[in-house]
Amino acid sequence: MATQKPSIFRRFFGFIGKIFKAIRTTIGIIFTAILIIAVIGMFADQLPPMPEKGALYLAPSGILVDQKTYVYPIDTLLADQSMNNPETLVRDVIDALDAAATDDRITHLVIATDYLEAGGIAKLDEISDALIRFKKTEKPIIAVADNFNQSQYFLAAHADEILLNPMGAVLITGFGAFGNYYREALDKLKIKVNVFRAGEYKSAAEPFLRNNMSPQAREETADMVNRLWQFYTSKIEQLRGLDSGTIDNFANNLDSKLQAANGDIAALAQQQGLVDYLATRGQMRNYLNQKIPNNMDDEYSAIDMLAYLAHIQREQSAAPAPADKIAVVVAKGNILDGQQPEGTVGSDTLAQILSELHYDPSIKALVLRVDSPGGSAFASDVIRDALYHSQLNLPVVVSMGSYAASGGYWIAAEADKILALPTTITGSIGVYSMIPTVDESLAALGIYSDGVGTTDIAGIMQLDRPMTAQAKSILHSSVNNIYFRFVTLVANGRSTPIADVERIAKGRIWTGQQALELGLVDELGGLNDAVNSAAELAGINLYEVVYPSRLLTPYEQFIQEIGHNFSAALKPLGFNAWLPEMVSKKAQTLISPLKYLSEFNDPRNIYLHCENCPM
């Protein structure tokens, strides 16, 4: 008897079942491989040995920051593991330099800047202080690079000897603040941007109102960049023993000077006294081998910054920890409402960190490190309330980083003491609200809005309707009210008459040096100075500095550990990532739009934000 052939439907669903079975099997294999690699990574990540005599190899990568930006868990797995550290903590650099200065095992400092992308002038200045402290030990400092940009060269200028690749360059071009202006484009698109602001220098919304910079914005921006440039050039000239005006002359006449040097920009840098030697990579290595104690392979002995810090922390952990602690809480990035990851300042996130300090009796003082151009007015006030009007009851010292302006100054104003760096950008005491309406754009497409409401302001926030005179009046009054609160808050926090604050407010930005002269800050100094001030206010001498942060979820911790172990396990095999680079980049491109839904999220659309701060 012939066997009956299965129906087409049965065959189809059987085929689908085989596909799902194959998928389940593949997933099981991948998951097992992940676990095996992760376990291998746990044992592969060994700390390099500490040399008996050798150099500290300082090679900061990416951008200098006060707090590393949160990396989303999926990115941790997809990213090229060789590039999973695009940021360098300023405090890591300073801690390593200060420890190495008194460490007999460290005989030299090698500064390699090729992987440093950028660093705000204030952060560079803070590291400069640590480099100068190191120089006082008379341990030699050698800087090497293929090329030097402005940030890189500022660090290299502290070296006793600077080596540049003969195919490289020293690119010092000056400081600038340039931006795009959209008024004409918005007019063509028939988009109207309704802006309400308090403070004639509050320029955050100008790109949507004009086609160029306003006279007020041009005045304050020119003053700021000129002051910072003067600081930069004079510091380098002092470090390199150059005549005053050398750097400015080099930048302004680079074309003619380069022609005279037959287009050889590396040779020009040596002629101008910016570098000491021109050397290829091989020559640099040979030079370092001759200058620095060698290991058994005839290569100079050295340890990189992170490995060195790990050794120092391991050695310090053997000693009993002090009973008293000073907490350093970092507020870095735009200030947003609610819970936010690192890289932005979430009002609820920071308030939660602060509230947990109340339950730790060992915390005797708080240092708030502000590195923010501001953001949401509501979120800024939530943080201010958690800092100064809750049950925290601790001395609060504010340390300003690259910028602590607008909302960044709002959360700093009531501190017991405020310290800024000379090149910090602060102030910007002003307020704005910006709401676009697209009714004319839609009308051009034949789309109209109509309906009824129970009050005259029922549709006040509909972007597809023109803004009424009542709506404009409401927003204008709200902005003026927040501005008055801002000025009053500063006057009370700084014990200054309101009239005096009004004269220096108006949304204007100031450098840290100017802020000291105007009474907006108490002293000039970096984070370590702020910690010392906090200890003095708390009346303690022996203490441990801790850095409270947002608690990661178990899922985040698991993914981060898996990603770290992947890196450790695959590195000896010659792989930088477990996905091909092209697939990794494509996956990240597809995922990235899901990560950021909005830049600002104030519930009333009122912002304390400094447009000219991020430089």
| Active centre residues (catalytic) | 202, 406
**Neighbour count for residue 451 (Cβ, 10 Å):** 8
C-beta contacts of 98-103 below 8 A and 24+ residues apart: 98/130, 98/133, 98/134, 99/308, 99/309, 99/312, 100/56, 100/134, 100/139, 100/308, 101/133, 101/134, 101/136, 101/137, 101/139, 102/137
Helices and strands (H, E) in the chain, number of each type: 22, 23
User: What is the C-alpha to C-alpha distance for residues 576 and 73, in angstroms, rounded to an integer?
Assistant: 18
* Structure-token pair, residue 453: 């409401």
User: What is the C-alpha to C-alpha distance for residues 289 and 499, in angstroms, rounded to an integer?
Assistant: 63
User: What is the C-alpha to C-alpha distance for residues 606 and 433, in angstroms, rounded to an integer?
Assistant: 5
User: What is the C-alpha to C-alpha distance for residues 313 and 456, in angstroms, rounded to an integer?
Assistant: 65
Residues whose CB is less than 8 angstroms from the CB of residue 119 and which lie 6 or more positions away in sequence, other chains included? 60, 63, 64, 127, 151, 154, 155
* Structure-token pair, residue 600: 């600002």
**Neighbour count for residue 490 (Cβ, 10 Å):** 25
- Alpha-helical runs (H) found in 497-553: 498-504, 512-518, 527-538
Longest dimension (CA), the chain: 107
What letter would DSSP give residue 301? Answer: -
User: What is the C-alpha to C-alpha distance for residues 113 and 152, in angstroms, rounded to an integer?
Assistant: 6
Cα of 49 vs its chain's centroid, Å: 31
